[in-house]
């Protein structure tokens, strides 16, 4: 087992996550790496999320209840403001971890001193708990980020050096694409590592909708405008034009092609071994009492 001297801070903003958050919490509680703290920001949920969170007795958790919904950018910044430790990682309330997720990422950050982030592969599953696609492992190894680059990793799967994130802030005016905005600033001219193990599982087929796709694309456009001063003018024009055209395409094509078309094109079909690992992990977690 990996040396557990490093403290890992897990952050989880949640809004109306009562249906899924227990699985996420179980996957954290049953990590092979136990030296973690978890900051959960309940972003004004109107379902039973608050009731579930108030039952937690493990002192590694810090629960913050916001009186009203403030949006993802705001909630993530509250998480960051309360973070402590050596490393910071993310767990959304409708997702869950492989049992060795934290341990494997800590090991890589401890061994490679000149990287500031390590990501991992993400498996996307549907509401029948069937693993459908895999992404985030194509560019395994050390990468160098520039502002004009597309991400070669899935942001939510990442673990970062907390000290390097202190001066970076989430844009509270973004209710989607806020993670892309944050990591673009955090990674600028730095090295990061893409780990090729599937250690993070995302309920994408359940959570994605037409309104969310449009919201994400609209916020991507807002992000480019907010950061106009950080781009060279030709790159700003290109990015703005590309994001606007993509949003137009989604608006027109989504009603005809459907949700699954857009999700499937983001990843590849999982291997037999990847599916076996997923099935084993979710089966064990579902059998555990929180």
Report the CATH number that the domain containing residue 105 is assigned in CATH. Answer: 3.90.550.10
pLDDT of residue 263: 66
User: Considering the domain boundaries, does residue 64 fall inside one?
Assistant: yes
Task: Assess whether 200 and 278 both reside in one domain.
Answer: yes
Task: Assess whether 95 and 234 both reside in one domain.
Answer: no
The number of distinct structural domains making up the chain is 2
pLDDT of residue 215: 72
Task: Assess whether 112 and 222 both reside in one domain.
Answer: no
Task: Assess whether 235 and 98 both reside in one domain.
Answer: no
Task: Assess whether 87 and 217 both reside in one domain.
Answer: no
Its pTM stands at 0.88
User: Considering the domain boundaries, does residue 264 fall inside one?
Assistant: no
User: Considering the domain boundaries, does residue 135 fall inside one?
Assistant: yes
Residue 97, SS3? strand
Q: Can you tell me the distance from the alpha carbon of 286 to that of 290, in angstroms, rounded to the nearest whole number?
A: 9
Task: Assess whether 54 and 68 both reside in one domain.
Answer: yes
pLDDT of residue 256: 73
pLDDT of residue 173: 83
Task: Assess whether 166 and 223 both reside in one domain.
Answer: no
Task: Assess whether 216 and 198 both reside in one domain.
Answer: no
pLDDT of residue 120: 98
Q: What residue ranges of the chain have pLDDT lower than 50?
A: none
User: Considering the domain boundaries, does residue 3 fall inside one?
Assistant: no
Task: Assess whether 170 and 240 both reside in one domain.
Answer: no
Task: Assess whether 184 and 71 both reside in one domain.
Answer: yes
pLDDT of residue 110: 97
Task: Assess whether 85 and 142 both reside in one domain.
Answer: yes
pLDDT of residue 151: 80
pLDDT of residue 243: 78
Instruction: For residue 133, give its domain range.
Output: 8-207+269-286
Q: What is the dihedral of CA 245, 247, 251, 252, to 10 degrees?
A: 20
Q: Which residue has the tokens 């905005």?
A: 181
> For the chain, percent helix, then strand, then coil, each to nearest 5?
40, 20, 35
Task: Assess whether 149 and 174 both reside in one domain.
Answer: yes
User: Considering the domain boundaries, does residue 262 fall inside one?
Assistant: no
């Amino acid at each position: 087992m990996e040396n557990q001297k490093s403290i890992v801070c897990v952050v989880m903003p949640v809004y109306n996550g009562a249906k899924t958050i227990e699985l996420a919490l179980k996957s954290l509680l049953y990590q092979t790496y136990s030296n973690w703290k978890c900051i959960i920001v309940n972003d004004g949920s109107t379902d039973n999320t608050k009731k579930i969170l108030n039952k937690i007795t493990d002192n590694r958790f810090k629960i913050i209840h916001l009186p009203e919904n403030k949006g993802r950018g705001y909630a993530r910044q509250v998480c960051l403001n309360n973070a402590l430790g050596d490393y910071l990682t993310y767990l959304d309330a409708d997702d869950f971890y492989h049992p060795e997720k934290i341990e494997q990422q800590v090991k890589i950050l401890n061994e490679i001193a000149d990287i500031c982030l390590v990501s991992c592969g993400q498996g996307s599953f549907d509401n029948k708990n069937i693993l459908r696609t895999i992404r985030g492992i194509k560019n395994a190894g050390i990468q160098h980020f520039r502002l004009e680059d597309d991400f070669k990793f899935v942001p939510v799967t990442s673990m970062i050096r907390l000290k390097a994130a202190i001066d970076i802030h989430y844009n509270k005016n973004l209710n989607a694409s806020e993670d892309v905005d944050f990591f673009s600033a955090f990674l600028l001219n730095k090295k990061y590592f893409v780990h090729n193990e599937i250690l993070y599982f995302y309920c994408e087929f359940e959570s994605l909708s037409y309104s969310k796709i449009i919201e994400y694309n609209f916020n991507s456009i807002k992000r480019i405008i907010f950061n106009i001063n950080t781009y060279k003018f030709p790159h700003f024009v290109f990015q703005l034009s590309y994001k606007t055209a993509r949003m137009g395409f989604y608006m027109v094509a989504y009603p005809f092609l459907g949700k699954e078309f857009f999700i499937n094109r983001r990843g590849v079909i999982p291997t037999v071994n990847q599916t076996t690992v997923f099935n084993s992990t979710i089966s064990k977690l579902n059998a555990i009492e929180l």
